[in-house]
């Protein structure tokens, strides 16, 4: 009869001893367990446990009363989303988590941007982003490090005469030998000639990345910019006296040609040579314009001396990539304003009275300038061309020929001379544009004005090295400084 037939079990193993079972078994053949007492298997549950046993039912205390999304009609309006931050909870230590107020910044999960929200890093007034604090007190630039606490070793690790370990960051370092420089990172290793620490290998900051100098009536600032890996510009500023005792103020600015070898060395050598030549000639009574011409020749010779012997292949060797640079300089006296240049570095005149017109005092040795001079293009078209900044004159052993340009002016009103590389005038090309960015008190604060002009170039993108010198005209009496 059907009622007397053993009921098939749905179990494949004995619940007591885990022995395999066969279909129709009412008792376990190994331990005798009554299989008829086994309750019916629960409904299918996809939860998987790591040890193969059935998961424990969650306790009532651990349950969370999650809010239910209300039913919506058949329209396209989506149901409101409930997030974990909407639920009160506790952290791993058992402390109660703060419950975010509706509409607060904490109610929005971190890392999710919604249309109309503030961009990353910009917070609306009064809002505090999740996980970020802006109300921390100011922190010192450096934290003093306490020496490590000495712990008695289980066994002597060193002879009693051995010196204790000392944290090199807190130890009193010996004074470096004369002519050596200590690493800024480990503060113990010497820096080699290539600018790397012999101890930790850290590259040292380069001195020429940013330079500033002020000598009362003249100031200059040079910066590497935001795109170049080094500063290939250089400057030299100085002051001297003419034979009659009147002052003469000098500024030389050079821009290394990046496509040449060692352009940074070329600009440095040229600026120093030109400055030294002017300081030697002006006190002897040489006319400032002639002195400027001779100074450019001396600068060219200094750059030529940097070239390898392979550049000595005749008068013209355009295929030789010798060190090269441009040069622009100015000499200011109580009555005269002299400029000299080779290349596309420039000098501008900006009067103190801004109702008077400013002027550009130099003409570029460049492809664009040649096109304009020949009447083939207007200035806007020429400087918009990709060949605009190709220079046609420079200092270097592979230059076609040296043609120093000089000019002399007698301004009838006070002003300032801005001597600069194209790293600045790329962002203020016309004389009117340059006058707009030169501070009104430039004649009284030349260093501040040079800093502002360099900042203008960096704010514009800083695509090139930028160097600026500011000279007030007329040259103030000897000993007068800037305000």
* 10-residue mean pLDDT series, the chain (483 residues): 43 73 75 67 40 44 40 44 39 45 40 36 35 36 49 54 50 58 77 83 80 95 92 97 96 95 96 98 97 98 87 51 95 97 97 96 92 89 86 92 94 97 95 97 97 96 96 84 41
Please give the pLDDT value at position 188. 79
Both structure tokens of 102: 């509706």
Q: What local confidence, expressed as pLDDT, does residue 426 receive?
A: 93
Look up the pTM and report it: 0.59
* DSSP classification of residue 228: -
Map tokens 């009554």 to a residue. 34
pLDDT value at residue 85:
39
Confidence at residue 340, expressed as pLDDT on a 0 to 100 scale: 98
Q: What is the pLDDT of residue 454?
A: 97
Q: How many residues does the chain have?
A: 483
> Sign of the CA dihedral 390, 391, 392, 397?
negative
pLDDT, residue 183, reads: 79
**CA pair distance 349, 416, nearest whole angstrom:** 6
- What is the pairing mode between strands 346-351 and 359-360? antiparallel
Q: Which helix (H) or strand (E) holds 266?
A: helix 263-281
CA distance 226 to 286: 41
What integer pLDDT is reported at residue 152 of this predicted model?
54
Q: What is the predicted pLDDT for the residue at 47?
A: 35
Q: Exposed, middle or buried: residue 256 (CB in 10 Å: 0-12, 13-18, 19+)? A: buried
Cβ atoms of 182 and 190 within 8 Å: the answer is yes
**DSSP 3-state of 405:** strand
Evaluate whether 481 touches 451 at the Cβ level (below 8 Å). no
pLDDT of residue 86: 39
Distances (CA, A) of 307 to 64, 260, 396, 401: 80, 11, 8, 16
Pairwise CA distance, residues 4 & 74, whole Å: 56
Burial class (CB in 10 A: 0-12, 13-18, 19+), 397: buried
Provide the token pair at 14: 């004995």
Helix (H, G, I), strand (E, B) or coil at 402: coil
Cβ distance 471 to 236 under 8 Å? Answer: no
């Amino acid at each position: 009869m059907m009622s007397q037939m053993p009921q098939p079990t749905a179990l494949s193993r004995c619940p007591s001893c885990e022995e395999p079972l066969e279909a129709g078994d009412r008792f376990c053949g190994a331990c005798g367990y009554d299989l008829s007492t086994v309750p019916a298997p629960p409904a299918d549950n996809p939860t998987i446990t790591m040890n193969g046993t059935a998961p424990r039912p969650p306790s009532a205390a651990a349950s969370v009363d999650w809010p239910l999304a209300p039913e919506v009609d058949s329209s396209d309006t989506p149901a409101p989303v409930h997030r974990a931050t909407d639920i009160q909870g506790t952290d791993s230590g058992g402390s109660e988590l703060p419950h975010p107020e509706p509409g607060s910044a904490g109610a929005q999960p971190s890392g999710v941007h919604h249309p109309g929200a503030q961009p990353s890093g910009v917070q609306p007034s009064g809002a505090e982003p999740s996980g970020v604090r802006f109300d921390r007190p100011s922190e010192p630039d450096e934290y003093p490090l306490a020496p490590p606490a000495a712990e008695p070793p289980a066994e002597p690790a060193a002879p009693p005469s051995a010196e204790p370990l000392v944290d090199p960051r807190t130890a009193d370092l010996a004074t470096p030998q004369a002519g050596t420089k200590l690493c800024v990172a480990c503060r113990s290793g010497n820096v080699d000639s290539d600018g790397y620490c012999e101890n930790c290998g850290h590259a040292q900051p380069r001195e020429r990345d940013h330079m500033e100098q002020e000598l009362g009536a003249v100031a200059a600032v040079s910066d590497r910019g935001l795109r170049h890996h080094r500063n290939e510009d250089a400057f030299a500023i100085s002051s001297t006296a003419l034979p009659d005792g009147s002052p003469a103020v000098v500024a030389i600015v050079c821009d290394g040609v990046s496509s040449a070898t060692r352009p940074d060395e070329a600009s440095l050598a040229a600026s120093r040579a030109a400055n030294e030549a002017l300081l030697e000639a002006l006190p002897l009574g040489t006319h400032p314009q002639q002195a400027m011409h001779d100074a450019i020749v001396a600068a060219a010779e200094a750059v030529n001396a940097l070239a390898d012997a392979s550049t000595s292949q005749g008068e013209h060797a355009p295929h030789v990539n010798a060190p090269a640079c441009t040069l622009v300089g100015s000499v200011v006296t109580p009555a005269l304003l002299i400029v000299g240049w080779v290349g596309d570095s420039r000098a501008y005149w900006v009067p103190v009275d801004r109702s008077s017109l400013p002027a550009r005092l130099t003409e570029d040795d460049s492809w664009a300038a040649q096109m304009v001079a020949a009447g083939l293009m207007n200035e806007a078209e020429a400087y918009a061309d990709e060949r605009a900044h190709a220079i046609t004159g420079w200092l270097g052993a592979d230059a076609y020929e040296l043609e120093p340009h000089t000019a002399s002016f007698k301004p009838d009103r006070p002003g300032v001379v801005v001597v600069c590389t194209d790293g600045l005038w790329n962002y203020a090309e016309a004389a009117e544009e340059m006058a707009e960015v030169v501070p009104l008190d430039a004649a009284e604060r030349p260093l501040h004005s040079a800093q502002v002009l360099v900042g203008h170039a960096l704010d514009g993108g800083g695509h090139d090295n930028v160097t600026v010198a500011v000279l007030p005209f007329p040259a103030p009496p000897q000993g007068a400084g800037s305000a």
